[in-house]
Amino acid sequence: MMTLLQPAREVGETIRTATREHLLFAMLDIPRLLRHPVWRAGDPEEGAGQGVLLIPGFGFGDRSLTLAGAWLRARGYRPTGARIGLNVGCTTELVDRIVVRLERHAEDTGRRVVLVGQSRGGWLARLTALRRPDLVRGLVMLGSPVLDPLGAHPKVVRVARLLARLSTLGVPGLMDLDCFTGSCYHENIEALAAPLPADVPALAVYSREDSIAPWELCLDPWAECVEVHSTHTGMGLDPDFYAAAAPRLANWARAEENGQLPQAC
């Protein structure tokens, strides 16, 4: 008979195995990012108070995007975290919570908000944009397998399925089996395939060196797709990501401030 402790140990070991190499590479990238001109140079008025909602990847919380928030804040944006805890809950329930955060941040800033999500956070952001396009200025997805969320590395999918098993044993706050085979799964897969509204520009960042989310699954046909050379976990620390995001975010912020549609970069 399966105990709560047994799958919990397996979850922990699988997460460590799947991310150990990538976390080390990510840590090594931090000094390179902090020395890079894209980090050091920037106009503090560029963001003009544009709100940004940061959504972490699977198994991570808001702190994983701390450096992204610092970079945005230094350029005059108003970033805030999704406050969903560790990103391991039911997809539909997480989108519900992100929508509430989006509504609050739009009210606080007095304008539509840019959504930035990494990995699973990216496709949660896309689902949020489809739910409330009237509140979304733009969408940025980093290493997000929107074409098939279950097409990620088998070890990551195994962790998710183990979490669903824990949910059936009564552990609260986790995704459940409905997220894999039930109405939650089918409704959200259908939504991920839907076109984004014309007034919600999107940027999909991918890497052929990503060993967690196959790069082909990140090529959202309704987004501008930009390649970087990064690991999956380290993508939010890659200077190339910030170099790609900077002009697009600035364009969206100017357009929102002036009440215009953003121009293509």
For the segment 204-214, what is each residue's pLDDT rounded down to a tens digit? Answer: 999 998 888 89
Report yes or no: 159 and 15 within 8 Å, Cβ to Cβ: yes
The model carries a pTM of: 0.85
Report yes or no: 73 and 48 within 8 Å, Cβ to Cβ: no
Q: How confident is the model at residue 180 (pLDDT cuts 50, 70, 90)?
A: confident
Report yes or no: 80 and 51 within 8 Å, Cβ to Cβ: yes
The domain spans of the chain are: 50-237
User: What is the DSSP annotation of 205-237?
Assistant: EEETT-SSS-GGGG--TTSEEEEE---SGGGGG
Give me the pLDDT at residue 206, please: 97
- Rounded to an integer, what distance in angstroms lies between the CA atom of residue 156 and that of residue 16? 10
Q: In the predicted model, what is the mean pLDDT of residues 254-260? A: 81
- In one-letter notation, the amino acid at residue 55 is I
| Fold designation for 50-237 | Rossmann fold (3.40.50)
